[in-house]
């Protein structure tokens, strides 16, 4: 089941970059300590490193991505790596739903 992630329009972000690149200012978002995402954009690729303190169903969304992000993926506690294609990257969002159904919104920061 694909989780819908709401992505803010570029107009709501300060300093959006031009299409085909990373934003003028790195995108950062505070979130829960149980899930942290760091990212690195290189050309049309984005590499995500996700660190979780609990296991569960992880999903992410990318504005500017051809795929829009990942379907739910089961992860354990630890570090996980994902890559995706992006064009005009603006924002990444992630959620982790633990076995007890608690939803954690991941923090986001550039690598």
- CATH number of the domain bearing residue 37: 2.60.40
Low pLDDT (below 50) residues in the chain: 1-24
pLDDT of residue 63: 78
CB atoms within 10 A of CB 24: 11
Residue 7 within any structural domain of the chain: no
pLDDT of residue 24: 45
- Has residue 9 been placed in a domain? no
Q: What is the pTM of this model?
A: 0.73
Query: Residue 68 sits in which domain range?
Result: 17-110
**Residue 38 β-bridge partners:** 49, 109
Residue 5 lies in a domain: no
Contacts of 14 (CB under 8 A, 6+ apart): 25
pLDDT for the residue numbered 61: 87
Contact between residue 107 and residue 32 where contact means Cβ atoms under 8 Å apart: yes
Number of domains in the chain: 1
- Say what the pLDDT of residue 65 is: 66
């Amino acid at each position: 089941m694909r989780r819908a992630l709401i992505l803010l329009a570029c107009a709501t972000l300060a300093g959006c970059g031009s299409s085909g690149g990373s934003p003028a200012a790195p995108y950062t978002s505070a979130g829960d300590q149980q899930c942290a995402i760091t990212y690195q954009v290189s050309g049309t690729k984005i590499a995500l490193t996700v660190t979780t303190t609990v296991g569960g169903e992880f999903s992410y969304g990318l504005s500017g991505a051809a795929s829009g992000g990942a379907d739910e993926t089961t992860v354990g506690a630890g570090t996980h790596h994902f890559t995706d294609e992006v064009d005009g990257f603006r924002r990444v969002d992630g959620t982790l739903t633990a076995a007890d159904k608690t939803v954690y919104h991941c923090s986001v920061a550039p690598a």
